[in-house]
Amino acid sequence: METELLTRFRQYLLLEQSLSSNTVQAYTDDVLKLLSFLDDQGVEVCDTTLDHLHSFAATLYDLGVSPRSQGRIISGIRSFFRFLVTDGYIQSDPSEMLESPKTGMYLPEVLTVGEIDRIIASIDRSLPDGQRNRAILETLYSCGLRVSELCNLKLSEMFFEDGFVKVTGKGSKQRLVPVSDRALNEIRLYMTDRCHIEIKPGFQDFLFVSYRTGKPLSRVMVFDIVKKHTRLAGVTKKVSPHTFRHSFATHLLEGGANLRAIQSMLGHEKIATTEIYTHIDRSRLREEILAHHPRNSHDD
């Protein structure tokens, strides 16, 4: 019966749930783990209770399976029992109340101000795209922009005299973001070079354009610029355009900025999204305490 169930389960995932073949294989492997556990317990699949599933989850924990992997396995188990209910093998789903483990909060990589300066300084101004790339990285950091927001910046929405830029974020929501004098200076220098670019019709209002195509920069192009100069600067952290945004927010918080002000700058709809930066700040504070508190001295 188990072979038949697994065959039908795979068909259910492929045809009715439209999952990828990789996901189907992963879920099938997860169910096999459960079936092996139930067999050891002398329990039939259709007689499985929530207590049995809790015991299975506890076994995963005891085996040292990471919380993230536990969550994926439990997701596969839930899909399996939904299938059993849908196809009439069982009347009620014992996995409905089965909770996934908490995976913990992800703390993004943060660059120091010195590392950011090194990355920007690695750009050769004498190259055709050198000044543009300096302006890109300085703007990413100065304004805390998402990469899509940077690619869509418009000249008509740059207010140089007032030191602001109008940014269009998620859901087409617009916000005014202050721009540092340093970023404005890099952009002004780039504007001199930009005059020599043959920009394609319809794209004249985009701030950052490709020297080669005359069209706006893509996300991939900005990622490549960041990766290239991170490598040239000798920074070994895993850095993406979003790292500049994370660093911007963290440095603001460390400098005493109000969380609501940071929320407004980043364009977060919910304050809870911004609060991740308080966790970053607390973790750094803890490191400082552990490093300098007399109770943690290694001297006898």
Q: Residue 292 gets which letter from DSSP?
A: H
Active site includes 194? no
Active site includes 68? no
- Joined together, the tokens standing for residue 291 give 């490093």
∠ CA(248), CA(206), CA(220), 5° rounding?
Answer: 60
Active site includes 196? no
Q: In terms of C-beta density within 10 A (0-12 exposed, 13-18 middle, 19 or more buried), how is residue 80 classed?
A: buried
What is the C-alpha separation between 269 and 261, in angstroms, rounded? 12
Active site includes 52? no
- Joined together, the tokens standing for residue 235 give 């920074």
Alpha helix ranges (H) inside 233-275? 241-254, 259-266, 271-274
Q: Residue 289 gets which letter from DSSP?
A: H
Active site includes 277? yes
Tell me how long the chain is: 300
Closest Cα to residue 52, out of 24, 18, 26, 81?
81
Task: Choose the catalytic residue: 132, 246, 251, 268.
Answer: 268
The values of phi and psi at residue 15, to 5°, are -90, -40
Task: Choose the catalytic residue: 54, 118, 242, 284.
Answer: 242
Task: Choose the catalytic residue: 10, 132, 134, 245.
Answer: 245
Contact 283, 107 (CB under 8 A): yes
Contact 79, 88 (CB under 8 A): no
Residues ≥6 apart with Cβ < 8 Å to 284 = 254
Task: Choose the catalytic residue: 146, 194, 229, 246.
Answer: 146
∠ CA(91), CA(93), CA(99), 5° rounding?
Answer: 170
Q: Residue 126 gets which letter from DSSP?
A: T
**Starting at the edge strand that comes first in sequence, how are the strands of the sheet with 174-178 ordered?**
158-159, 164-168, 174-178
Active site includes 251? no
What is the C-alpha separation between 274 and 257, in angstroms, rounded? 12
Task: Choose the catalytic residue: 170, 182, 188, 219.
Answer: 170
| Amino acid (1-letter code) at residue 289 | I
Q: Supply the residues annotated as catalytic.
A: 146, 170, 242, 245, 268, 277
